[in-house]
Amino acid sequence: NFVWVVDELSKGSQYNNWHQVLHSLEQEVTSERDRYRNWKDALHGSASEQEEILNQMAEITERQEERSKDLGAATKELRDKLSSESKIYETNFKEYHRLKSELDEVKAANEQQERKSEAGKRHLKLARAKLEEAEDLLDMDLIDPDMAKYDSAVIAKEEVLSKVSGSIDNPKVKKVVDAYIKDPGNPSDSLRKALDDLSKDIGDSAALESAMSELRDAKATRDRVLKDFLEKRRKYGMAEQQAQAARSEMASARAAISEAEKSMTVDAGGIAKMEEKVRSSEQKFKASEIAVKTLQNEMAGLDDSPEARKDEEERKKLETKVGSMETSSVFELRFSSLQMLPNQTMRLSESQADELLGSNEEDSPN
């Protein structure tokens, strides 16, 4: 039921524009909600599957070590190194993803507060403009326009129109006279005299059209001056109320900005420290990954059995799989129907995305 829209909006085109935007947004939200749920399912599945893959890779390493025992004492040092590096790799792998997830969530929380702060600043700017407009109106001298001058101009144009209109206003008679003026022909003297006298009473059609145009202009000018004055008087009467509302909006905007700034999870310095920890952890994780692969290749060079080749193929498949799994703990969202630019993309944590898009099939976006 959109009756309230029709009542509130003065122009139907405004409602139509909003309807089109909201319809496009509704369709895009539905699509993005489905994409989010797919991402969420993949993320939850990745957490447990990563653990399972790490266990499978550890089992391959154990089998490789067990087979190497048959190759003699010369491989003992290599086995010990591989066992040690594999444990380090697993620890570094988990630690890196833990730190990366924490950093992503902190950034997402901060970015949400930054968006609230920016929105508060925009509202503050708009409220300040409203207050300035209201104060200008209150300072304005509201002087009644000299409507008598405009009324006199209209009356004068009406008199001119009356003079050029003639005393006869019968369209059929005017048509006959116009035809006679354009093509007098050869009427009898008495008919010519009668038509000439009649044309004097009909008036000048060109002068009549000009007089009517001038009268319309005079009335339009008078109406415009009156309308402008009434609009200014209306705004003047509401200026104090507008000023109070603007001051209230400014206070609310400042409170929202302050709250957003206080709610920042970690400050810029803290973010930088967390980023450094993630970089350091990633370097350790990558280094241990290379070390394990190097030792595994050395071990594989000593064992060319069918079991070893099978384990090596399985290990590569597991490494490829774990490398392609969803590990990001933030969901990127941008509504093109709202003409959001790429740099306005929102990076949302799972809880933030649940709040915005809904966590279950029956949920709807807030």
Looking at the fold, whether 276 and 250 belong to one and the same domain comes out as: no
pLDDT of residue 341: 82
What whole-number distance in Å separates Cα of residue 148 and Cα of residue 222?
10
Looking at the fold, whether 165 and 79 belong to one and the same domain comes out as: no
pLDDT of residue 3: 43
Q: Is residue 30 part of a domain?
A: yes
Q: Is residue 125 part of a domain?
A: no
What whole-number distance in Å separates Cα of residue 266 and Cα of residue 273?
10
Looking at the fold, whether 103 and 204 belong to one and the same domain comes out as: no
What whole-number distance in Å separates Cα of residue 10 and Cα of residue 15?
9
Task: Over range 297-305, report the average pLDDT.
Answer: 75
Task: Over range 276-284, report the average pLDDT.
Answer: 93
Q: Is residue 74 part of a domain?
A: yes
Looking at the fold, whether 214 and 275 belong to one and the same domain comes out as: no
Q: Quote the domain boundaries for residue 169.
A: 147-258
Looking at the fold, whether 244 and 173 belong to one and the same domain comes out as: yes
Task: Over range 196-217, report the average pLDDT.
Answer: 72
Q: Is residue 46 part of a domain?
A: yes
Task: Over range 216-228, report the average pLDDT.
Answer: 90
**Residue 164's closest CA among 127, 200, 121?**
200
Looking at the fold, whether 230 and 154 belong to one and the same domain comes out as: yes
Instruction: Establish how many alpha carbons lie within 13 A of residue 337's alpha carbon, considering only the half-sphere containing its beta carbon.
Output: 16
Q: Decide if pLDDT at 282 tops 80.
A: yes
CA dihedral for 70, 74, 76, 82, sign (positive or negative): negative
Q: Decide if pLDDT at 274 tops 70.
A: yes
Q: Which of 195, 229, 258 is the last residue of a domain?
A: 258
Looking at the fold, whether 250 and 278 belong to one and the same domain comes out as: no
> How many structural domains is the chain composed of?
2
Q: Which of 193, 228, 258 is the last residue of a domain?
A: 258
Give, in degrees to the nearest 5, the angle at Cα 138 between 133 and 143. 115
R_g (Cα) of the chain, nearest Å: 42
pLDDT of residue 198: 64
**45 vs 200, residue with greater confidence:** 45
Query: Percent of the chain, pLDDT > 70?
Result: 81
Per-residue pLDDT tens digits for 127-173: 999 999 888 888 877 788 889 999 999 899 888 877 766 555 666 66
**Residue 64, burial from CB neighbour count under 10 angstroms (0-12, 13-18, 19+):** buried
Q: Is residue 132 part of a domain?
A: no
Q: Is residue 263 part of a domain?
A: no
Looking at the fold, whether 219 and 276 belong to one and the same domain comes out as: no
Put residue 100 in one of left, alpha, beta given phi > 0 → left and psi -120 to 50 → alpha: alpha
Looking at the fold, whether 222 and 286 belong to one and the same domain comes out as: no
Comparing 164-168, 173-177, 334-338, 354-358, which segment has the lowest mean pLDDT?
164-168
Q: Is residue 109 part of a domain?
A: yes
Q: Which of 199, 233, 258 is the last residue of a domain?
A: 258
Looking at the fold, whether 157 and 252 belong to one and the same domain comes out as: yes
Looking at the fold, whether 224 and 295 belong to one and the same domain comes out as: no
Coil, strand, or helix at residue 152? helix
Task: Over range 206-215, report the average pLDDT.
Answer: 77
Q: Which residue has the tokens 């010990």?
A: 80
Per-residue pLDDT tens digits for 75-122: 777 777 878 888 898 899 889 988 988 898 888 888 888 888 999 999
Task: Over range 214-242, report the average pLDDT.
Answer: 87
Put residue 333 in one of left, alpha, beta given phi > 0 → left and psi -120 to 50 → alpha: beta
Q: Is residue 315 part of a domain?
A: yes
Looking at the fold, whether 277 and 249 belong to one and the same domain comes out as: no
